[in-house]
Amino acid sequence: MTETALAEQLRLLPEYLGHHLSLTLVALFSGIAVCLPLAVLVTRVKPLQWPVLTVASVAQTIPGLALLALMVPLLGQIGFLPAFIALLLYSMLPILRNTVTGILGVAPDILEAAEGLGMTSGQRLFRVELPLAAPVIIAGIRTATVWVVGSATLSTPVGATSLGNYIFSGLQTQNSTAVLVGCAAAAVLAIALDQLIRLGELAVAGRSRTKGWLAGAGLLFILLSTLILQIPTAKGSAVVVVGAKPFTEQYVLAEALTQRLTQAGLQVENRSSMGSMILFDALTAGHVDCYVDYSGTIWANVMKRQDLPPRADLLEEMKDWLQREHQVLVLGALGFENNYGLAVARHKAEALKLASIQDLTRHAPQMTIGSDFEFFVRPEWTALREAYRLDFREKRTFDPSLMYAAAREGVVDVISAYTTDGRIIEYDLAVLTDPLQALPPYDAVLVLSPAAARRTELVSALEVFDGIIDDGTMRAANKRVDVDGESPAQAARFLLEAVGLSSPAQGRERSDS
């Protein structure tokens, strides 16, 4: 069982590693190309030193994930570019600081000799200062390399594929194999690049041809493998990009869409673990072709509406609005709702006689509420709080995968659960009713970007999803991942089979490899 789980993860390695490598190498080489001249300038023009190093230090203090996420609104793009810029900024400080330190550390008598012998400023730099500063500069580049390889795993949420795909999806779906494979691959890559640079340094310092050839061969190998690993995804613009937000149901649905599109003979790229708003912007900009969103989410967060019409009216109005404002096509509602609901451990609900959110109002000042990273800043929370006058003692945010266990174990009293989550049944949680209808309905809807909506083969492959997944089926598929430890791909095969969309040929092919 573990062997097949590992094999399944390793099949994804070439794609993830290829993207990770190209992102890392481009960011690093650019970092070196920008920082070396900048550092030299700073040693020549002393007043620049403080501001430049301070800016680089500040960039370094911003947490990697935040820096990456910040790049998305700043650049108005997702994917490679924001990840590249953020990593470039991240690589700057060690290279800049070490280069400046190295150059300023050259002994004054050596500089006097260089000047007294009649070297020009450039000759002094290239023949004396840079060679003498080289060990310190290279140490900086090695630090930057390790940092960039590590931080590149954080580029997954902004839509750039990397080894972070293993880690983010693995953490959400409690797949420790995926997390381990991702971490191990990133660590091995960091060590390999670091040692390669060291080998190159030794080759130059010791004037050793053998080491030089080895380092050169290693670099060539890495560059070539980056190119080769990139080829499958570099094939034209016909590739369909499927997006997913960072939680289990989304991974399963993205996998289901991917399998369906692959069956239809289309080339698919899976961009998992993207932030909710990043994903919608990516769809309207055409960087993502399709994903599953929820009507209430779009209603409250994108359309900024506060009124709540009945479920069917809301859906219709949303469809029209998306088509009119963004030329986004709602291909259909999948059939199930994944609502936000407040859930309490059943024994606690019974003890306190909690059935609806209204019953909670009285107890809230003594209670702690736990939620995912998004909920407390979403308009739904404001609406809910105002409708029921909820005033909790404490609010805590959790990774969605840990939230349910926190409710079961009494770490928090109430959580904002997703109603299709398999763990609600598994962990014996009770979902409170919403008599005032403060929370909108969250019909799962398949949305297509303007460009994707024009591709008939894509539309015909996906329109079969209209109305075929009910709450129970979705919850069962989610449970397979969250509770039974299956991979999203396996759960997606189950889902397709359950709704009668699987092809036996594909099932065989998967189990063979």
Partner 1 sequence: MICIQQVSKTFDQGRSFAVQEVDLEVGAGEFVVLLGESGCGKTTLLKMINRLVEPSRGRILVEERDVCRVNPVVLRRGIGYVFQGVGLFPHMTVAENVAVVPRLLNWEPSACRDRVDELLRLTGLSPRTHRDRKPHELSGGQRQRVGLARALAARPRIMLMDEPFGALDPMTRDGLQREFKRLQQTLNLTVVMVTHDMTEALLLADRIAVMKRGILVGTGSPGQVLRSPSHPYIAALMETPRRQADQVESILRSGGEGK
Q: Which spans of this chain sit near partner 1 (rule: CB under 8 A)?
A: 107, 109-120, 123, 127-128, 131-132
Question: Which lies closer to partner 1 via its Cβ, residue 40 or residue 119?
Answer: 119
Question: Which lies closer to partner 1 via its Cβ, residue 115 or residue 320?
Answer: 115
> What's the closest the beta carbon of residue 254 comes to partner 1, in angstroms?
55
- For residue 408, give every residue at least 6 positions away whose Cβ sits within 8 Å of its Cβ, in sequence order, or none: 345, 427, 428, 429
Question: Which lies closer to partner 1 via its Cβ, residue 113 or residue 223?
Answer: 113
> What's the closest the beta carbon of residue 40 comes to partner 1, in angstroms?
18
Residues 312, 320: Cα–Cα separation, whole Å: 13
Residue 75 tokens, joined: 């650049």
User: Residue 443 forms beta bridges with which residues?
Assistant: 337
> What's the closest the beta carbon of residue 208 comes to partner 1, in angstroms?
15
Question: Which lies closer to partner 1 via its Cβ, residue 129 or residue 372?
Answer: 129
Question: Which lies closer to partner 1 via its Cβ, residue 138 or residue 445?
Answer: 138
310 φ/ψ sector (left φ>0, alpha ψ -120 to 50, else beta): beta
Question: Which lies closer to partner 1 via its Cβ, residue 117 or residue 312?
Answer: 117
> What's the closest the beta carbon of residue 109 comes to partner 1, in angstroms?
3
Residues 220, 204: Cα–Cα separation, whole Å: 17
> What's the closest the beta carbon of residue 120 comes to partner 1, in angstroms?
5
> Using the 8-state DSSP alphabet, how is residue 231 labeled?
G
Cα dihedral across residues 478, 484, 485, 488: positive or negative: negative
> What's the closest the beta carbon of residue 106 comes to partner 1, in angstroms?
10
∠ CA 15-18-24, nearest 5°, is 140
Question: Which lies closer to partner 1 via its Cβ, residue 131 or residue 309?
Answer: 131
Query: Which residue in the block uniquely carries the two structure tokens 């199930």?
Result: 336
The 3-state secondary structure of 241-302 reads: EEECCCCHHHHHHHHHHHHHHHHCCCCEEEECCCCHHHHHHHHHHCCCCEEEEEHHHHHHHH
Residues 330 and 445 sit within 8 Å (Cβ to Cβ)? yes
- For residue 158, give every residue at least 6 positions away whose Cβ sits within 8 Å of its Cβ, in sequence order, or none: 68, 69, 71, 72, 78, 79, 82, 83, 86, 274, 275, 278
Q: Cβ atoms within 10 A of the Cβ of 434, count? A: 19
Question: Which lies closer to partner 1 via its Cβ, residue 111 or residue 464?
Answer: 111
Question: Which lies closer to partner 1 via its Cβ, residue 107 or residue 231?
Answer: 107
Residue 303: Cβ-neighbour burial (10 angstroms; 0-12, 13-18, 19+): middle
Question: Which lies closer to partner 1 via its Cβ, residue 11 or residue 127?
Answer: 127
Q: How many helices (H) and strands (E) does the chain have?
A: 25, 10
483 in helix, strand or coil?
coil
Alpha-carbon Rg for the chain in angstroms: 27
Question: Which lies closer to partner 1 via its Cβ, residue 58 or residue 117?
Answer: 117
> What's the closest the beta carbon of residue 207 comes to partner 1, in angstroms?
10
> What's the closest the beta carbon of residue 134 comes to partner 1, in angstroms?
8
390 in helix, strand or coil?
coil
Q: Cβ atoms within 10 A of the Cβ of 238, count? A: 10
Cα dihedral across residues 376, 381, 386, 387: positive or negative: negative
> What's the closest the beta carbon of residue 135 comes to partner 1, in angstroms?
10
> Using the 8-state DSSP alphabet, how is residue 128 labeled?
I
> What's the closest the beta carbon of residue 123 comes to partner 1, in angstroms?
7
> What's the closest the beta carbon of residue 130 comes to partner 1, in angstroms?
10
